[in-house]
Each structure stands twice: as structure tokens, then as C-alpha cells.
Amino acid sequence: MVDIEYTLSMIPRGEIKFLMRMAGTLALFSVLVACGDMDRLQEDGYRVNLVVNGTQVGTESAVLRSGDRVSPSFASIARDDPDLVSLSVSLRDRKGAAVGDRFRYVLSGRQEDAGEIAVDSFRGNLPTLPLPTGMELGEYNLIFEVFGRRALLQRTEITVLYVGNARFSLKDISMSLPGIFESQIVRPGTKVLLEARLDFDRILDPYLVWYSGRNIIHRGRVGEGAHSLLWEVPEETAFHTLRLEVLPFAPTGRKFVSAGIFREIVLPVSETAESPGFFFNPDDFPDELRAWYRFEGDLKGTKAGPALVSETGKVPRWTSMGPSYGLAVNNSESFVLTQAGPKDGGPQGGVFLLHFLPLAEGMVFSAAFPPISPAFPGAWLDLLFLDGTLVLRAGSAGNTRLLPVSPGNLPSDSLLSVSIKFVLDPEFLQVDAISDGETRTQPLTVELSHPLNGEVLVHLGGAPFEPFDFPKAEDSPGNEDGPLPVAIWDEFAFIATLP
């Protein structure tokens, strides 16, 4: 036998007190288990999950629709607890007011009220409940309260986002790169365009949260443009996981509560990735390169040219066009290149190089040639997209000439390359164009009543110099972008011919 008295004498007095306290705690634990009052010790065991139409959904938040049927389901640790007596279910609005009836599940033989639902056990999914009638779209709290023999054991709240009969779904997310890439591996610092494709009714304004790993990189509503994100790839070479979570409307609290609606993509980043290729190589032109824009997520010039300026002050809208992206323009979203040619010793001519995707009828590009004096008329040229055809116009003092640059019925998903050559003479402006390196137009000649000052002002998008009755642009599919762009610019360059 073990000599208890001798054993205790070998243990320091402080440790004996500790062991006695531990023994007391274990004794109390045993009493609580015997009495069924493990309210605080098994809190997680009484967690209730939400099941919608037979499928378990998110544990924090759920999107519910008209006609959905909900039911609670206990975690497995609590299903066979003999001290579990009842479970109540109630719904409250944002102000805390009750919505609909309160339901209570009880074990068979313990019903006290007609509204109680008798169950043989709390195993599996419990009988379903209908949603209250007349619910308005918005945020609610679904409350589960678990009762033991003597006290409330657990209270679980799940945020409910009710959309009624409104359409709401996240289709997918896509990633577009600047320029021409042979693979999806990119270099650090590359600006990629992330876009979410959603299907929703206009009564909703979905709320999106973008993650890189666990870090939030952007959040906001579709109406604020959050469905499209220009993101600069980090310097770290690795596989970066990008995740998008979506709610039908913005949460009322500061904390974002996931409803389990998400998509993910993985982006490999490496220092050895190839640099993007581009369509034009202005170095092939012998004359002076005044401006070259590749639209790699900004309005800066490449090698030459000042930054483009938004004519209306709007933030540039970057839009995908297949695997790449570019700058979207229309009548209200235009960008200006000012003083492309200096007034002193200005160009006697030059070439505009255009690479773009036409989408809707309107003005794609224009160039203005100011007069030598404000009292005199200047000259201009523009390129319109009309009825599937590119039309080049040139004019001065009300005298306008036009001709088609491309055949009709252009492919709706093909980028076009157009080079527009112009010659400035004291007495005339001469313009011609080549489309996709093949179709060359006859020159347009516009007589000038007064000399020009040699300056060139370029507009990408915007309103035409002479009014033109364009049809109203339709909204883009998915209704999150508003009117379609007239064009998406991939590249633009200006090579001037000096005197």
C-alpha cells in the first residue's frame, strides 16, 4: 500500500494547497454534470446551425428568399444531451421588434401551449418553419434560444438578409491583364483588373468585399463601382489567393458578416515572368514620337507624352476586353491630350495610331487644330463608330467631309487598329486612314480660310465637333456598369512630322 501521509510530507506546502483547490474544482464539475446545469461549460455544444431548404448555410449570416423554409440543427455534441428541454426560434428586425410568430420545439409529452412543436428528439434537422408573410427586403436577426431544465443554455443569433423575389447571384470573377500575355503568370507590380459578374435586380445594390489572402483590399457597393477593382500585384513572389464575398446589400453594422457567397482565383507571381507585349512599336517610325499610351492601369505616357487628363474629372473606368483590359470612353467619359504639338515650330503633319475595341455608337477619337487667332475658325477630324462601321470626318468653318474607314458589320469582339495620317498646310487639312493595315481610304481634303497655329488637341471619347444624333446607349449586361462604353482603348500613339 502507498503511505499517503509519507507521500504528502514529501510535497511542498504550496503545491498541496494547489492540489486541494484542483480537487475541489473537479468535485464541483461532477456535481454540475449530475445536476444537468452545464450552462457555461458546454456553450459551444449548444450551438445551433441554420438549415435552409434542407441545406446547411453559413453560421454567421444567410441570404433568404420568398418561399424558403428554415429549420434549426444542433451540433452533434448536444443532440443526445438529456438536459436539453426546448428550443425557441424568433425573428427580429433591425430595431429589435418581433417579426412573425415565435416557435418552440419541445420533446414529445412536454407540450404546454398549442403553438409548441413536439419532436421525439433533437437529432438531425428539426421540422421546417415558413418565413413570416409580408417581410420587407432587408436585414433581420434570427434568434435560437436553447433551454435546459433550469436555465437558458445557449443563445445563437444569425443575420438574415432577406431578398424576397429579387434576383441575386454571383456568377463568377475574372482577371484581366494589361497588354498581351502568353501566360497567367505576372510580374510583381503589375496592375490587374478584377471584375465580378453578378445577376441582380435593380432594387438591390450588392455589397462586395475583396480579399488578398486574409487582408481586405477593397470593399463597397456595386453602385460605387466595387464590382471592378484595379489591383497592383504585391512584390512578394508567390501564389496569391484572391477572394470575393458578396451580400445583397451593405451590412448595417461595422463588421462584415459572411453569408457564404464567394468565389476565389489564384494568381501566380514571379520575377521571371515575361513582360507584356503590345500592339504598336512606335520605334519603327522615323519621325518624332510625341505620345504613346499603353493604358496599364493609369493615364501616364510610355516613353513620351504627358499624362492624359479626364475632361469631366471622372475617375478612369477600366474595362475588360477578353484576356486584357483597357480604358473605357463614351460621350461623358473622355480624356484629353493637350498641347501634343507645340505652337512654335508645330507639326506640319503626323500619324495617330489607334488600337481599340468599338462597342456602341459614338465618337471614338478626335483631334482639333486651333487657328492662329481665336477670331478665325480652326480645323478638326474625328472617328465615329456608326452602324457597325468606322467613319472618318474632317471639317473646318462648317465644311465637313466624311468617308467610311472600314467595311460594315465589324466583328463585335475584335480589336481594331487604325492609323490616321494628317497633313497641315496653310491652305488645307488633308487626312487619310488605314484600317487593320489593309484598307486605305482616299485622302480627305478640307480647305482652310486661315492658317492654323500648329497645336494639336486630342480627345479619346467625348462629344463630336458637329452634333450627331447617336442612339441612346443601352445598359451593359448585368446592369452594374450603366451605359456601354463607345470604345475600350488598348493603345494610342502620336508621331509628329516636324517642319
Each residue of 298-311: pLDDT tens digit? Answer: 999 887 778 899 98
Largest Cα–Cα separation, the chain: 124
What letter represents residue 25's amino acid?
A: T
pLDDT band at 254 (very low <50, low <70, confident <90, very high): low
Q: Are 91 and 67 in contact (CB under 8 A)?
A: no
| CA–CA dist 423, 347 (Å, integer) | 9
Q: If we measure between CA atoms, which residue out of 259, 256, 231 comes closest to residue 169?
A: 259
For the record, the C-alpha cell of 303 comes out as: 516613353
Give the burial class of 392: count Cβ atoms within 10 A of its Cβ; 0-12 exposed, 13-18 middle, 19 or more buried: buried
Cα dihedral sign, 284-285-286-289: negative
**Which pLDDT score, from 0 to 100, does residue 80 have?**
62
Domains 44-162 and 282-497 share a fold: no
Give the burial class of 443: count Cβ atoms within 10 A of its Cβ; 0-12 exposed, 13-18 middle, 19 or more buried: middle
pLDDT in tens, 106-130: 988 776 676 789 988 888 889 999 8
Say whether pLDDT at 2 is over 50.
no
Segment 396-412 shows an average pLDDT of: 79
* Superfamily of domain covering 168-268: Immunoglobulins (2.60.40.10)
| CA–CA dist 447, 395 (Å, integer) | 8
pLDDT band at 31 (very low <50, low <70, confident <90, very high): very low
Instruction: Give pTM, 2 decimals.
Output: 0.78
Say whether pLDDT at 77 is over 80.
no
Cα dihedral sign, 467-471-476-480: positive
Question: Which CATH architecture describes the domain 282-497?
Answer: Sandwich (2.60)
**Which pLDDT score, from 0 to 100, does residue 113 have?**
76
Segment 240-259 shows an average pLDDT of: 84
Q: Are 440 and 434 in contact (CB under 8 A)?
A: yes
Lowest mean pLDDT among 379-388, 410-419, 436-445: 436-445
| CA–CA dist 225, 348 (Å, integer) | 43
DSSP calls for 328-365: EE-SSS-EEEEEEE-STT--SEEEEEEEEEE-SSEEEE
Q: If we measure between CA atoms, which residue out of 324, 354, 321 comes closest to residue 178?
A: 324
Dihedral, CA of residue 296, residue 298, residue 303 and residue 309, to nearest 10 = 140
Q: Please, how many CA atoms are within 13 Å of residue 102, restricted to the half-sphere of its CB?
A: 11
Dihedral, CA of residue 475, residue 481, residue 485 and residue 490, to nearest 10 = -150
The domain segmentation of the chain, as residue ranges, is 44-162, 168-268, 282-497
DSSP, collapsed to helix, strand or coil, labels residue 195 as: strand
pLDDT in tens, 320-355: 988 899 999 998 889 998 765 545 555 688 899 999
| CA–CA dist 223, 249 (Å, integer) | 11
pLDDT in tens, 186-203: 899 999 999 999 999 999
Cell 463614351, residue?
Answer: 330
* Superfamily of domain covering 44-162: Immunoglobulins (2.60.40.10)
Q: If we measure between CA atoms, which residue out of 276, 208, 277, 198 comes closest to residue 242?
A: 208
Q: Are 180 and 296 in contact (CB under 8 A)?
A: no
For the record, the C-alpha cell of 349 comes out as: 503633319
- According to DSSP, the β-strands at 61-64 and 152-162 are parallel
